[in-house]
Structure 1
Amino acid sequence: MAQIIGTPHQQDMGGLDMFESVERLFVKQEFAAMELCGIEAKNRYRICTDKPENEGGTQTMYVGESGEACERICCSACRSYTLTLYKGRDTSGTPALTFEKTFHCPMMPWPILLYPGTWPFVCPIMCCAMAKPPEMAVREGSTLLGTIMDPPGPLFCCKMDSIIMNASGNQILHVGPKSMCSCGMCCPCCGEEKVPVTRDGTEVATITRTALSCEEVCGKMNRFEIDFRGLRDLTEKKLIIAAAFLLDTQYWDQKG
C-alpha cells in the first residue's frame, strides 16, 4: 500500500505547524440548547493541545459546522456537511482545514430483515447504502489531502470501521474495526470508547471518546482525545483528525 513520506504541505501549514510537536489533541463539543428539544444543531468543537479543557487546557483550535438546516434536522448522521478547522478560539481565526462529508443513505440493522414485510422498503435503501457509503474529503485550501470512507456494505454490522486514503486514492490507514456493543457505546457514562488507527495491522494512533458526565450525555457534549503515538507525518495527522470527527458525527453524536 502507498504511504506518504513527505509533501510540500509540511513546510507551511497555515498555522498548523504546531502538529510537528503535538502528540495529543483534546476535543470538546460545545453545548447547544436546541439539542435538549431533540433538534440536531450545528456541531461546534473546541480543541486543546496541552490537556483537557476541564483540567485547565488552553484552547488553540476551533471547529464549526456548516450545512443545510433541513437536511441536518431530518437526516441527522446521513446529512452532508462541511466542518472547518480554525486556528484560534472561534470562527474569526484563520481557516486551516475543511472536512467535507457527502450525503449517504442509512445502513440498516440486519435484524430488520427477519420481517419480510419490510423488504420492499429496506432492500432499495440497502442497495443505495452499499453503492454510496459515508465519505469525507479532507482539504487544505483547495488541495485535497485525502479521503475517509466507511467500507462499502449494505448492513449495519454493529461496528465502527473506516479507511483513510491519500490524495491518490490509495489506502494508507485503517480506523477500527470497533464493536458498537461495548460498554462505552451502550452507556457513555460508564466507560471510554477507544478506536485504534492502524497501518498494516500495526497501531499508529488512537481515537478515544472518554467517559462522559450525565450533564454531557443529556446535552450531547462529547469529549474525545486523539493520540498520535509519535506519528510525524503531518498529512496523516490531519487525516486522522478528520476521521475522528467522522466517528463523532456518525456514531458517538447519535449515541451521546
Structure 2
Amino acid sequence: MMQSLQPITDEPRGIELDEIDITGGRVLTGLGPLRDVDSIIIKQKISTCELLTGCEMENRFLICGPQGDTLFWAKEHSNFCNRLWCGSVRSFNMSITDQTNQTVMEINRALACQGLCCSFLYPYCTQELNVSVGSQSVGTIRERATWWSPVLHIFDSVGNQVLKVRGPNCLFFCCDDINFSVLNTDGAEVGSITKKWMGCWKETLTDADNFLLTFNPGMDVSEKVLIIAATFLIDVMFFEYN
C-alpha cells in the first residue's frame, strides 16, 4: 500500500557565496577570510609606469593572510588631475574584492586639507574615510587634530567611537618599522598597524609600502574591516611622498 505524500513546507535553501568552503574548511569569499585570522599583511604593488614617469598612479594592494595567501585585492579609483594637483590629499574611492571578483568593501575619501596649519580649523579640515560593506555603512575613520603624535578615531555605523589608532611621535625612522597602536575605548591595546621597513632601495625610489596588521583574538569582523580602512588612510596621509 502506497504511503501518502507529505507536503513540502520548507523551500530548498541555496548556498550563499560566503558559506562555500574551498580548501581546508576555510571560507574564502565575502568577508569570511577575516573571521578567524589574527593578522594580515597589506602589500602595495609597485607601479612600473609610476617609476618611469614619476606621475602618481592609482594605488593597488594585495591583502594577504598570515601564510601569504591572497585574501582580497584593493584598487584605488581616482582621476589623473586629482592625483597630479592634489597629491596625498586627493579624494578617491577604493574597492576591495574577494577571490570571486565580488566587491566586499568600499572606501570613500573626500578631498580635505592636511597639515599643522589645518589643526586650527579642527574638525572642519581633517582627514576622513567612510567605509561600507554591501552598500551599508560600517563606520568612519576620522583624524583627530593633534600637535604631537598622530591619532585616528574609529566610529561605528551609528557614530559611536569603538577604537582609536595612535602613532609614534616621529614617523621618519630609518631602517626600522613604524608601529601604530590600536586601542579600545578603555585605552587597552587590541591590535596594531605596523609599517614595515622595505629596504633602502624601495624606500628611496618608491612610495609602495607593506603593513602588518594584528588583531586580538575574538575581534569582530566589522572592527577588522575598519582597521584595514584606517591603514589605507595612514598610508596616504603619512607615507605618500609626492
Pairwise mapping of residues 35-74 of structure 1 onto structure 2 (< 5 A)?
Answer: 35-36=50-51, 37-51=53-67, 57-74=68-85
Is 1:164 equivalent to 2:149 in the alignment? Answer: no
Describe the superposition over 1:168-192 as per-residue Cα deviations: whole angstroms up to 9, x where unpaired.
Answer: 111110000422x25xx243xx000
- Contact 1:208 1:226 (C-alpha < 8 Å) held by counterparts: yes
Q: Which runs of 5+ in 1 are unaligned?
A: 1-10, 52-56, 110-124
Describe the superposition over 1:74-113 as per-residue Cα deviations: whole angstroms up to 9, x where unpaired.
Answer: 111211111111113xxx711100111111012236xxxx
Which structure shows the bigger proportion of residues in helix conformation? 1
Aligned to 1:97: 105
* Counterpart AA for 2:85: C
Q: Relative contact order, CA 8 A, sep 6+: which one is greater?
A: 1
Larger Rg: 2
Give SS of 2:236's match: helix
Q: Aligned-pair distance for 1:152? A: 4.2
Give the Cα–Cα distance (whole angstroms) in 1 for the partners of residues 74 and 209 of structure 2. Answer: 14
Give the Cα–Cα distance (whole angstroms) in 2 for the partners of residues 103 and 128 of structure 1. Answer: 15
* Counterpart AA for 2:140: T
Is 1:220 equivalent to 2:207 in the alignment? Answer: yes
Aligned to 1:22: 37
Give the Cα–Cα distance (whole angstroms) in 2 for the partners of residues 241 and 170 of structure 1. Answer: 18
Give SS of 2:198's match: coil
Aligned to 1:114: none
Aligned to 1:8: none
Pairwise CA RMSD of aligned residues? 2.3
Q: Aligned-pair distance for 1:158? A: 4.8
Give the Cα–Cα distance (whole angstroms) in 2 for the partners of residues 158 and 72 of structure 1. Answer: 28
Q: Aligned-pair distance for 1:140? A: 0.6
* Counterpart AA for 2:213: I
- Contact 2:93 2:108 (C-alpha < 8 Å) held by counterparts: yes
Give the Cα–Cα distance (whole angstroms) in 2 for the partners of residues 58 and 130 of structure 1. Answer: 39
Aligned to 1:192: 177
- Contact 2:42 2:210 (C-alpha < 8 Å) held by counterparts: yes
Aligned to 1:6: none
Give the Cα–Cα distance (whole angstroms) in 2 for the partners of residues 208 and 126 of structure 1. Answer: 25
Describe the superposition over 1:2-54 as per-residue Cα deviations: whole angstroms up to 9, x where unpaired.
Answer: xxxxxxxxx98961122111111111100113433432111100111023xxx
Aligned to 1:146: 139
Give SS of 1:253's match: coil
Describe the superposition over 1:224-255 as per-residue Cα deviations: whole angstroms up to 9, x where unpaired.
Answer: 11101214211111111101111011112339
TM-score, length of structure 2 as denominator length? 0.80
- Number of residue equivalences: 214
